[in-house]
Chains A and B, each alone.
Chain A
Amino acid sequence: DIQMTQSPSSLSASVGDRVIITCRASQNIDYYLNWYHHKPGKAPQLLISAVSTLESGFPSRFSGSASGTDFTLTISSLQPEDVGTYYCQQSYGTSYSFGQGTKVEIK
């Protein structure tokens, strides 16, 4: 099975800060890497699909990139509404898996 290692597990940053979350796959997954935003008490929301395709409804301060089996989610200027937990998810095979999650808070 493909393992996804996400870091950091949590972070606290100031409004306006640049935030970077990384995810490493245990094997090649091409571009089958997706990101979700999850707020407590709500359903997760698809944020980015296929490494870098931003879903409608999310602002352009969110972006995704890849280098080999390393994937990055960047928030260019953190806003209060961005708090919550972010998860990466690989969809390369038929058995999917998520990263452990990164909890983002405002300092």
Chain B
Amino acid sequence: EVQLLQSGGGLIQPGGSLRLSCAASGLTFRSYAMAWVRQAPGKGLEWVSTISGSGSDTYYADSVQGRFTISRDNSRSTLYLYMHNLRAEDTAIYYCAKLPDVVIVPAASRGYFDYWGQGALVTVSS
């Protein structure tokens, strides 16, 4: 059974940094692309970032480009999201999610999120 167990999150001041982790089990981790999706309070789902199975390819939403970094340690079956220069509008529940393919190829990869972590709340406030 695929399981994604998240850790990290919490209260952080504007301008601060935080790291989220997502430990995967029940799958060959390096064989799947992974992603982060967030939900701000009272808002809908927002895709944040995606990383290929090898970690060589990464993609970001415009709202986080240059401030967030997605990475993975396939030896530890763990996904990370490093968040810098945090803003109040980054306050959200952050979910890690698994994709069904190892690479992200436009109009070829399936690109859906078939397994999700339990979520981690990040609150950016002074």
Interface residues of A (CB under 8 A from B): 1, 30, 32, 34, 36, 38, 43-46, 49-50, 55, 85, 87, 89, 91-101
B113 touches which one: A1, A44, A99 (CB < 8 A)?
A: A44
Tell me the nearest residue of chain B to A33, going by C-beta.
B112
> Is the Cβ of A44 less than 8 Å from the Cβ of B45?
yes
A100 to B42, CA, bound (A): 11
Least CB distance, A50 to chain B, in whole angstroms: 7
Q: Which of B56-85 contact A (CB under 8 A)?
A: 59, 61-62
Could you show 25 A-B contacts with beta carbons less than 8 Å apart? A30-B107, A34-B111, A34-B113, A36-B45, A43-B118, A43-B119, A44-B116, A45-B116, A46-B114, A49-B110, A49-B112, A85-B44, A89-B45, A89-B112, A89-B113, A91-B110, A92-B106, A92-B111, A93-B107, A94-B104, A96-B35, A98-B44, A98-B45, A98-B47, A101-B45
Q: B91 to chain A: which residues have CB within 8 Å?
A: none
Residues on A with C-beta less than 8 A from B110 are 32, 49-50, 91
Number of interface residues of B (CB under 8 A): 24
B116 touches which of A43, A95, A98 (Cβ 8 Å) = A43
Chain B residues packing against A (C-beta within 8 Å): 35, 37, 44-47, 50, 59, 61-62, 95, 104, 106-107, 109-114, 116-119
Chain B residues in 8 Å Cβ range of A85: 44
Give Cα A91 to B106, complex, Å: 8
Minimum CB distance partner of B46 in chain A: A98
